[in-house]
Chains A and B, each alone.
Chain A
Amino acid sequence: MLAFVVRRLLQSVIVMLVVAFIAFLVFRYVGDPVTSMLGQDSTIADHEELRERLGLNQPFYIQFYHFVTNALQGQFGISYRLQQPVAKLIMERLPATIELALASATIALVGGVVMGIYTALRPRAFTSGVIMTASLIGVSLPTFLIGIGLIYVFAVELKVLPSFGRGTVTDIGWWRTGLLTESGLRSLILPAITLSLFQLTLIMRLVRAEMLEVLRTDYIRFARARGLSTRAINFGHALRNTMVPVITITGLQLGSVIAFAIITETVFQWPGVGSLFVNSVQVVDVPVMAAYLVFVALVFVVINLFVDILYFIVDPRLRDGVRSGK
């Protein structure tokens, strides 16, 4: 187990280094940072001086080394647009994104698994048909359309929920949360639903397909032949086997919820990392973009690591597989 985690960690480090390298290339070679920082009306002497000060005339690998060591200390430079440290900007906005992502992942996971199990156990029921048809809509409609539709219905027509922002927020240390106030929670509802809808349908269809597959296997037949109760078979034996492949997809989906909440954040003017990224792209704020790239990679690597460990806990075959090396 430990060897496995160590191996995974090493692989993660390699991935992160590669991503950092790409981020570094973007940072260093997309446009001239010196020109971007000093503006048009500066002298060549100013340029040289800044170059010297920023270490831009040092060899390539030394610059990369500095980039990595700085990144490890959480320093990604200063945003051109906002003239603030990038790390600080991201940390300020991270809580908003994480709260939104966790809320929508919870909705997607709970809703998807419950509905998936229901439609698998009662494939012929009328409700299952309704759910399956509705899920088609969930997969095929683009996120921004769902967001705008929800805003129209609940904010414009019914006027029950706010259509943008986070509502009132409270600071707990550096973490700025919207979960403690009523307006914060109400603001969370629409974006969370919008963001979760696609994942929800995906998880639901996946759970359904896997569960139907598992219910056809010999060990489920044998469990029936042993006279176990339907409940024990469906929820004890079938569900856990269903979860093995679902974990992978769900993990990756959670990653993309955190990393690519951009559209939802834009539609709802949610002050998260995604909207920071969009605003930065518009003005070619390279340090922010590079940092965002590294951040997204980190999210995926960490989630992947968790997924692998979870696999270990769920499937005993893997534990042995690693131990004996087969």
Chain B
Amino acid sequence: MTEPVLSVKNLIVDFPFHNTNFRAVNDISFDIMPGEVVGVVGESGAGKSMTGSAVIGLIERPGRITSGEILLKGQRIDNLPEADRAKLRGKRIGMVFQDPLTSLNPLYTIGRQLIETIRTHLPLSEEQARQRAIDLLTEAGIPKAADRIDAYPHQFSGGMRQRVVIALAIAAGPELIIADEPTSALDVSVQAQIIKVLKELCSNHGAAVMLITHDMGVIAQTADRMVVMHQGKIVETGTVGDIIRRPREPYTVKLINSIPTIASDRSGAPASAPANDDGAFVQIKGLVRDFELGGGSFTKVFKSKTEIFRAVSDVSFSIQKGKTYGLVGESGSGKSTCAKMIVGLIRPTEGKILVDGHDVWAGGAGERERRKRVQMIFQDPYASLNPRWRVADIIAEPMRTLGIATNKGEVEGRVADLLNKVRLDPSVMRKFPHEFSGGQRQRIAIARALSSQPEFIVCDEPTSALDVSVQAQVLDLMRALQDEFGLTYLLISHNLAVVRQMSSAVGVLHNGVLVESGPTDDIFDNPQADYTRMLLDAVPDISKVA
């Protein structure tokens, strides 16, 4: 029996506050064998990232390890003095963070950051370190690494930056890599590549991986064994196949069941083909949006022609009343630009948007109609609610502005009614947004959207910021409200599984062009466009577990 690379025994991490104590990690034990990929899965606040921070010794104050042991190759490391622990970081334990856009120092070239790291740990000359840096970048899949080594981080895309981050993490040949949500900030197609790079590089260099993620699909594709965490405790440990096929603990079962999968045969949503486009409730015709690139007044005066970036190019689709149309695509594909044009936030360069036959961009009259009929739910429920306003005021604002209800008692009655509708207790209307969890906030955002009694709601990534179990609840709520009020949804998401579950028709957007549009089942089961096929193949799915 070989010795484990990492052995965590009865680890407890506490965050003492004034007179209370928050136990972030509660008595957990697990081992990672050499060359093994262990997935740590759980929802936000489960203590997974904290476990990673504890292992590498980067817990932020006032948190501290209260008891337990962390052993690296049999040697105890949690009680080492800080100077000795610092020597382990990078050299024997590497780390990859979630957001590649913020993980690199923006002011230095990636080469400089790599060489700095390599020379801190290995006795190499500047020249040798540079050569090693180029080799690492090539290995991580950066094309023309020798040319690009002197580029700055902002000159790379998100996926490329994450490759650089991985190259940095393995630069000194550590035995263990802690990857904390390494792909959560990336598009699905990029995500698949990054997982591949991470896995390959680590196996080439013989490093074990502790993969922290909320995405069971990523773990299913990558890890050998997995650890399920909930509220600081380990709920279940086992091989990935065992846990996904035969989860024993109720929490794990709940977690797995709440994951939407693109292969699922959907229970409720009807797959009616759009009968006749002209009768559709929402019609988008030839939508185009150009952005002018660059140049202030100076360039405009001295250059007759400015560069134009076409964010949305001739997009047309229609939505039947009471149905959901899903719009999918990667970041930068123009999904959100479409949403903003439809709700009237940015003016289309060309094209028409008709809601129930009214053009939303038809001057003052169109604007009044639009405000009443069209509402929007945003991605981040932490940023979309005014933190200084009480819930009652947030929900009542659209009614007051549109003059639906002015009398105080009436407004209050309606707000209470709306809170009931989104399954929140009406007594919460006196509270402020920060007193709610992410899922509850998104319910408040939905109640606000319903407040003007709209017929059409544009949902821009409504569940992307939420945990899977919360996501399932919010989606259920949206479906129930659709049935109750006959709402029409435009659902924008990069999550194909969510779109498959919710919508009756789908459009796939790529570089501003609608590459495919049609009934959901047709597109998912029988994709015509290459891009759609590529997108579907890239989705990590727990049903693909070997």
Chain A residues within 8 Å of B, Cβ to Cβ: 7, 10, 217-219, 221-230, 232, 236-237, 240-241, 244, 314-317, 320, 324-326
Could you tell me the distance in whole angstroms from the C-beta of B387 to the nearest C-beta in chain A? 20
**Which residues, 88 to 103 on B, are CB-close (under 8 Å) to A?**
88-91, 94-95, 97, 99, 102-103
Chain B stretch 263-318: residues in CB contact (< 8 A) with chain A: 293-296, 298-299, 307
Given A225-B89, A226-B90, A324-B294, are A316 and B106 also a contact pair (CB < 8 Å)?
yes
- In the assembled complex, the Cα of A319 lies from the Cα of B107 at a distance in Å of 11
B155 interfacial by beta-carbon distance below 8 Å:
yes
Q: Is A228 within 8 A of B103, CB to CB?
A: no
- Give chain B residues whose Cβ lies under 8 Å from the Cβ of A240: 107-108
When distances are taken between beta carbons in the complex, the residues of chain A under 8 Å from B99 are 218
* Residues in B whose Cβ lies below 8 Å from that of A317: 106, 152, 154
A225-B90, A226-B168, A228-B116 as given contacts; A326 in contact with B103, CB under 8 Å: no
A230 CA / B121 CA spacing, docked (Å):
14
Q: Report yes or no: B107 in contact with A314, Cβ–Cβ below 8 A.
A: yes
Flag whether B8 is at the interface (Cβ < 8 A): no
- Chain B proximity of A262: nearest CB distance (Å): 35
User: Bound complex: CA of A316 vs CA of B106, how far in Å?
Assistant: 8
Instruction: Flag if B152 contacts A316 (CB, 8 Å).
Output: yes
Is there contact, CB below 8 Å, between A219 and B91?
no
Interface of A: prevailing SS: helix
Would you call B107 and A226 a contact (CB within 8 A)?
Answer: no
5 examples of A-B residue contacts, CB within 8 angstroms:
A219-B103, A226-B120, A240-B107, A315-B106, A316-B109
B104 interfacial contact with A, CB 8 Å:
yes
Q: Which residue of B103, B171, B299 is within 8 Å of A222 (Cβ)?
A: B103
Query: Would you call B117 an interface residue if the criterion is a C-beta within 8 Å of the partner chain's C-beta atoms?
Result: yes
Please name the residue on chain B nearest to A228 by beta carbon: B120
- A232/B154 in contact, CB under 8 A: no
Interface residues on B, range: 35 or more
Instruction: Determine how close the nearest CB of chain B comes to the CB of A296; give it in whole angstroms.
Output: 26
Interface contact tally, CB-CB below 8 A: 93
A219-B106 in contact (CB<8A): yes
Residue pair A218, B103 in contact (C-beta under 8 Å): yes
Could you tell me the distance between the alpha carbons of A300 and B428 in the complex, rounded to whole angstroms? 54
Establish whether residues B105 and A237, one from each chain, have CB atoms under 8 Å apart when the complex forms.
Answer: yes
User: B165 within 8 Å of A by Cβ?
Assistant: yes
User: Which B residues are closer than 8 A to A by beta carbons?
Assistant: 56, 58, 86-91, 94-95, 97, 99, 102-109, 116-117, 120-121, 152, 154-155, 165, 168-169, 171-172, 293-296, 298-299, 307
Q: Which residues of A contact B89 (CB under 8 A)?
A: 224-227
Inter-subunit contact A225/B86 (CB<8 Å): no
Cβ of A320 and Cβ of B293 under 8 Å apart?
Answer: no
Q: How far is the CA of A219 from the CA of B107 in the complex (A)?
A: 11
Give the distance in Å from the alpha carbon of A316 to the alpha carbon of B108 in the complex. 8
Q: Which of chain B's residues have a CB closer than 8 A to the CB of A10?
A: 298
CA of A4 to CA of B121, assembled, Å = 41
Asked whether A228 lies within 8 Å of B107 as measured between CB atoms, the reply is no
Min CB distance A236 to B, Å, is 8
**Contact partners of B97 in chain A: CB under 8 A:** 218, 221-222, 225
Q: Which residue of A lies closest to B87 (CB)?
A: A227
Nearest A-chain residue to B101, judged by Cβ: A218
Closest A residue to B98 by beta carbon equals: A218
| A217 engages B102 (CB within 8 Å) | yes
Partner of B104, one of A7, A219, A225: A219
Once A227-B172, A228-B120 are accepted as A-B contacts, the answer to whether A219 and B154 lie under 8 Å apart by CB is: no
**Cβ contact within 8 Å between B88 and A227:** yes
Q: Are B90 and A325 in contact (CB under 8 A)?
A: no
- Chain B contacts of A232 at CB under 8 A? 116, 120
A150 vs B107: C-alpha distance when bound (angstroms): 42
Bound CA span A240–B107, Å? 8
Contacts of B88 in A (CB 8 A): 227
B102 contact set on A, CB distance < 8 A: 217-219
Find the A residue at minimum CB distance from B152.
A316
Q: Which residues of A contact B56 (CB under 8 A)?
A: 225
Cβ-defined contact, A223 with B105, below 8 A: yes
B86 contacts across to A, CB distance below 8 A: 224, 227, 229-230
Q: Is the CB of A229 within 8 A of B95?
A: no
Chain B residues whose C-beta falls within 8 Å of the C-beta of A244 in the assembled complex: 107
Shortest distance from the beta carbon of A300 to any chain B beta carbon, whole Å = 20
B148 → A minimal CB distance (Å): 14
**Complex-state Cα separation, A325 to B58, whole angstroms:** 39
C-alpha gap A229/B95 in the complex (Å): 16
CA distance A294 to B307 in the complex (A): 39
Report B-chain residues with C-beta under 8 Å of the C-beta of A226.
89-90, 94-95, 117, 120, 168-169, 171
User: Shortest beta-carbon distance, B311 to chain A, in Å?
Assistant: 13
Measured in the bound complex, the distance between the Cα atoms of B298 and A10 in whole Å is 9
Most interface-central of A217, A226, A324, A326 (chain B CB within 10 A) = A226
The answer for the CA separation of A7 and B155 in the assembled complex, in Å, is: 24
In the A-B complex, the 6 residue pairs with the closest CB atoms: A325-B294, A227-B90, A225-B95, A227-B89, A218-B102, A226-B90
* Cβ distance B87 to chain A, nearest Cβ, rounded Å: 7
B94–A225 touching, CB < 8 Å: yes
Assess whether B171 is in contact with A224, with CB atoms less than 8 Å apart: no
Residue in chain A with minimal CB distance to B294: A325
Q: Which residue of B lies closest to A218 (CB)?
A: B102
Q: Are A325 and B171 in contact (CB under 8 A)?
A: no
The answer to whether A222 and B120 touch (CB under 8 A), given A227-B86, A317-B154, is: no
B residues near A324, Cβ cutoff 8 Å = 293-294
C-alpha spacing A326/B293, complex, angstroms: 6
Q: How far is the CA of A236 from the CA of B105 in the complex (A)?
A: 10
**Cβ-neighbour of B58 out of A224, A237, A314 (below 8 A):** A224
Docked Cα-Cα span, A222 to B161, in Å, equals 13
Which A residue's beta carbon lies closest to that of B165? A222
Q: Which residue of B lies closest to A216 (CB)?
A: B60
Cβ–Cβ < 8 Å partners of B171 in chain A: 226
A320 CB → nearest B CB, Å: 7
Check A227 against B120 for contact (C-beta < 8 Å). yes
> Which residue of B is nearest A241, CB measured?
B107
Chain A residue nearest in CB terms to B114: A226
- Measured CA separation A146–B298 after assembly (Å): 46
A230 to B89, CA, bound (A): 12
**Contact A315/B107 with A222-B165, A228-B116 known, Cβ cut-off 8 Å:** yes
Return the contact of B107 from the options A221, A316, A320, A325 (Cβ within 8 A).
A316
Contact A241 B154 (CB under 8 A): no
A223, A225, A315: residue with the most chain B Cβ atoms closer than 10 Å: A225
For A223, what are the chain B residues with a Cβ–Cβ distance below 8 Å? 105
Residues from chain A with Cβ under 8 Å of B168 in the complex? 222, 226
Q: Contacts of A221 on B, CB cut-off 8 Å?
A: 58, 97
Task: Across the interface, name the chain A residue whose C-beta is closest to B104.
Answer: A219
Within the complex, the shortest CB–CB distance from B247 to chain A, in Å, comes to 32
* Cα–Cα, bound, A43→B171 (Å): 90
Least distance between A38 CB and chain B CB atoms (Å): 47
- Shortest distance from the beta carbon of A313 to any chain B beta carbon, whole Å: 10
List residues of chain A with CB within 8 A of the CB of B107.
Answer: 240-241, 244, 314-316
Cβ–Cβ contact B116 & A227, under 8 A: no
Query: Quick one: which of A217, A229, A325 contacts B295, CB cutoff 8 A?
Result: A325
Q: Please state if A325 and B307 are interface contacts (CB–CB under 8 Å).
A: yes
The closest CB in chain B to the CB of A314 belongs to B107
Residues of B within 8 A of A218 (CB): 97, 99, 102-103
Structural contact, B90 and A228, CB atoms closer than 8 A:
yes
Question: In the complex, which residue of chain B has the Cβ closest to the Cβ of A11?
Answer: B298
Among residues of B, the one whose C-beta sits closest to the C-beta of A237 is: B105
Centre residue among B107, B108, B155 by max chain A CB count within 10 A: B107
CB of A75 to closest CB in B, whole Å:
31
| Contact assessment for B293 and A325 in the assembled complex, using a CB-CB cutoff below 8 Å | yes
**Chain B, Cβ-Cβ closest to A10:** B298
